[in-house]
Structure 1
Amino acid sequence: MAAAGPGSAEGTTGQSALAAHLAFRSAIGDVSGSTRRLSGELSRLEASTPGIAGRASGLFVRYVDHGVLQLRWMDAELAAATQLANAASEVKDPDMQLALLRRAGPRLQAAMMGSLLLAVWLDFLHLTDVALKQHIYSVEWLFVDLDRVQKMLKPAMTALSSGESGQVEAVARDIPALVGHLTREFAATREAMRAGAEKLQKILVLKESIEAITLLSALKFSLPSLPPSAPALLGMSLTVGGDGVMMGTRLVVSAEWVEMMRHLVRAGVLSLPTVSAAVRIQAGQVMMAQSHDELPKGVCDALGDGPEVQGMHVTGRAGAGMNEPPRHHILPKEFREWFEKRGFTGEMDIDQFCVKMEQANHEAIHGGGNWKLGRTWPGEWNRMILEALQKAETRTGRMLTRNEILDIVAERMEEYYIPLKFIPWRGP
């Protein structure tokens, strides 16, 4: 059998899988770097005894702890995504590699969106820390403000931490508007602090403190917020420059980041609405103010304005997990123990290897829907897949590895015209 050449369909798929895998590794590193920085800042705030961790203001420590708690699920999502990426690198079939990366995609998306929201939360904690140190704002008002912001962030954080791809997609759609609202909250609190500092003749100290905060702030491109009377600016679009996506002369994201996202979007690992949300937040209030149904032109241009991108619109009810076709196990549930002995546990549990199939199609691969008659048909899926795996073990004279099983399953899925698009089980 001749090897697949670079221009063949198999060779193209292999190149796409390799590019997606390298981009995925880079994206994990990028988000991990963000979470490490967030962790360091939270640790610093926990030790800020003159400010947020001081005796008189010890009641604010709970809000730092809340940030630490959010960081834990993001780290867990990144660890799970890394595990799936490792599994993808170990299988031979390029379609299976892409399928595993697509399973890891929602994990990465959740951590990426969560880190952006946590960075906003950290901005409010930093502002609180400054106010407590300088005694320029009411402690009661600070407590009320933080409580309100926490409640606004909670639904989005809860949905992101669920690990459910539909919920992550839906949240990504709304995050720019949420961050835009929080930007205005932040600006209002900062202005109130400035007014209080002027009365106490501490304006220079406050100015230096706030500049230090916004240097690494998630809101640095959004402050001060634009007044409503600026319709001309709201019509601006992102453009693509040599160093990445630009708005005017301001760099929003680097060229390397754009290229990384291009591979992941085209491979179906990340969704364009999620990438769009990240760019909107980085671009600031101007882009966040646009309708979330209109993806920024610069983002589409940077990612490639082709049919793949044009087909990736904001997720609707079906994309959010409603009115979907049934989910069915590719690795039969009745043989769960057999698969567990061969490594299908944790993130690689057989419940993670389900596909959406219309009822008629599902019945067809099981012998017409009557499971008793279906078991007598040699081509019935459950019977066929186990026999194929057992024969492979007989030939090798040992227990198959998890990756060897996945390669065999990928071949059989292609024969049965079952797309390699895995989703988790959502049944009882």
Structure 2
Amino acid sequence: MSNSSRRISGELSRLEASERGIAGRAAGIFGPYVDHGTQQLRWIDAELAAATKLANTASEVGDPDMQLALLRLAGPRLQAAMMGSILLAVWLDFLNLADVVLNQYLYSVERLFVDMERFQKMLEPSMKALSSLEPGQVEVAAADLPALVGHLTSEFATTREAVRAGAENLEKMLVLKESIEALTLLSAMKFSLPAPPPAAPATLGVGLVMGSNGVMMGTRIVVSAEWVEMMRRLVQAGILSLPVVSAAVRIHAGQVMMAQSHDELPRGVRDALGDGPEVRSMRVTGRAGTGMARPPRHHVLPREFREWFEKRGFTGDMSIDRFCVELERASHEAIHGGGDWLVGRRWPGEWNQMIMGALRDAEAEAGRMLTRSEILKVVAEYMRLYKIPMNFVPGRGP
């Protein structure tokens, strides 16, 4: 993902710095399309950085269950960035095509502007859903992504073919112009034609030439047997969502495979990811399947002690609001001493009082502030004792 992001960043920088093409001719009209790509790259890079931070923290925590819980917390960010980078790579291919067209005068500028505006509007809803990080929206967007990429690929091929036809007509007109000017009797006739394009081939993507057989999109993630195996393991561990991974596999396979029934995954995807019980238990879900009415979310790092945790590194992407679990209402009230929170706070076994007591005791024994990893290790022990599942979800803030 990081390599893909760097390649896309380099291509966008090249387009922004070009003196001709999309950043030169009519830059005021087409420049915002490059800016749009840069804006999308920012949130993708931010989610990659957050996922990396969580993964690094997981590697520092000695408790295996907490390690897995942190990786599951990083998973939604990673899969949103993965899907977003695929869409951004598609947009980059359109930008490269526009750059070639504007640089070599091969297509109507007005028509190109209308096309680019239409393509951007097709991409925006999915990008917005992915950047929201809401599991339901991400899975719905991912389920629609193969069909969207397939449609955009068809649009790309149509536009490229129109450009190719325009280039052929231009070449014919140039030959005609030279023939007419060679005739002395018709030497007064002058054709106002654009200058011929440079001899270098028109390139799209990364080092790929626009040809009659189509263009491979070189800015996407490279898929290998190792990649598929890693995706399978991450799905089995509950870190990544199967619908999201299945969409990525379909797109990388170069075709849109339809499911055999309304809730089953395509056989090709199921075969690639394995057919273990973890995979069989997962289905492609829509908005209804994601559970819009959510149970209460419990902060395992108590909100009333937010400042205490912030002093020990729980800020930004590692905020205490990231460490919540969904519990049934009865269970949530039970660990807080019942329905009356004021009475519950007087019970030593109430979660907030108990966990803060344990953390303060650990600090007193260490003779210093605990690190994030040490705090999470202590919390993991008590989550097991209270039978609280280590499956973190983002909270709703203070």
Q: TM-score with structure 2 length normalisation?
A: 0.85
Corresponding residue to 2:159 among 160, 183, 189: 189
Q: State the AA in 1 paired with 2:163.
A: M
Counterpart AA for 1:358: E
Structure 2: gaps spanning 5 or more residues? 174-195, 216-221
Report the residue type matching 2:171 in the other structure. Q
Match status 1:32 vs 2:23 = no
Query: How do 1:133-212 residues align onto structure 2 when only pairs under 5 Å count?
Result: 133-201=103-171, 209=201, 212=203
Whole-Å separation in 1 of the counterparts to 2:207 and 2:100: 15
Q: CA deviation at 1:214?
A: 5.9
Residues 216 and 267 from structure 1, CA distance in 2 versus in 1: closer, same or farther, beyond 3 angstroms? Answer: farther
In structure 2, distance between residues paired with 1:120 and 1:207: 26
1:209-358 equivalent positions in 2, closer than 5 A: 209=201, 212-213=203-204, 223=214, 253-287=223-257, 293-317=263-287, 320=290, 322-358=292-328
Deviations 1:160-199 (A, max 9, x none): 2223333222211111111122122212212222222221
Which segment drifts farther, 321-330 or 140-149? Answer: 321-330
Q: 1:43–1:180: structure 2 CA closer, same or farther, 3 Å change rule?
A: same
For residue 339 of structure 2, what is the aligned residue in structure 1?
369
Letter in 2 for 1:271: S
Mapped contact 1:53–1:60 kept (Cα < 8 A): yes
Cα–Cα, structure 1 residues 321 and 139, in superposed 2: closer, same or farther, change >3 Å?
A: farther
The one-letter amino acid of 2:12's match is: L
Deviations 1:56-106 (CA, angstroms, capped at 9, x unpaired): 454212111111111111111111111111111111100000100111111
Which of these residues, 115, 121, 124, is aligned with residue 94 of structure 2? 124
Q: Structure 1's 93 and 106: CA in aligned 2 closer, same or farther, altered over 3 A?
A: same
Aligned residue for 1:262, secondary structure, equals: helix
CA distance in 2, matches of 1:90, 1:177: 40
Distance 1:186 1:392 in 2: 60
Contact in 1 for aligned 2:250/2:269 (Cα 8 Å): no
Distance 2:236 2:199 in 1: 44
Q: How many residues align?
A: 369
Distance in 1, matches of 2:235 and 2:396, equals 25
Provide the rounded CA distance (Å) in 1 between the counterparts of 2:361 and 2:14.
58
Report the CA distance between 1:373 and its aligned residue: 2.2
Which amino acid is 1:180 matched to?
G
Residue 110 of structure 1: how far off its partner (Å): 1.3
Question: 1:54 aligns to what?
Answer: 24
Give the corresponding residue for 2:180: none
Amino acid at match of 2:204: I
Deviates further, 58-67 or 413-422: 58-67
Task: Name the CA distance, whole Å, in 2 between partners of 1:405 and 1:66.
Answer: 41
* Counterpart secondary structure, 1:201: helix
Three-state SS of the structure 2 residue aligned to 1:275 is helix
Distance of 1:143 and 1:216 partners within structure 2: 25
* Root mean square deviation, CA, Å: 2.8
Q: CA deviation at 1:36?
A: 0.7
Q: What whole-Å deviation, never above 9, does each CA across 1:349-406 have from its counterpart, x for those lacking one?
A: 1111111111111011111211222123221111111111122222222222221111
Are the aligned partners of 1:317 and 1:323 in contact in 2 as well (CA < 8 Å)?
Answer: no
Compute the displacement of 1:316 (Å): 3.0
Residue 156 of structure 1: how far off its partner (Å): 1.2
Task: Compute the displacement of 1:208 (Å).
Answer: 8.2
Is residue 157–residue 214 contact of structure 2 (8 Å, CA) maintained in 1?
Answer: yes
Cα pair 1:50 1:133 within 8 Å, conserved = yes
Cα distance in 2 for partners of 1:199, 1:41 equals: 30
Structure 1 counterpart SS, 2:171: coil
Relative to structure 1, the CA distance from residue 75 to residue 412 in structure 2 (aligned partners, 3 Å threshold; closer, same or farther) is same
Q: Matched residues in 1 for 2:239 and 2:289: separation?
A: 15
What is the TM-score of this pair, normalised by structure 1?
0.79
Indicate conservation of the 8 Å contact 1:130/1:209, yes or no.
no
* Secondary structure at the counterpart of residue 253 of structure 1: coil
CA distance in 2, matches of 1:126, 1:78: 25
The offset of 1:48, in angstroms, is: 2.8
Letter of the 1:213 counterpart: L
Aligned 8 A contact 2:296 2:332 in 1: no
1:378 and 2:348 are equivalent in the alignment: yes
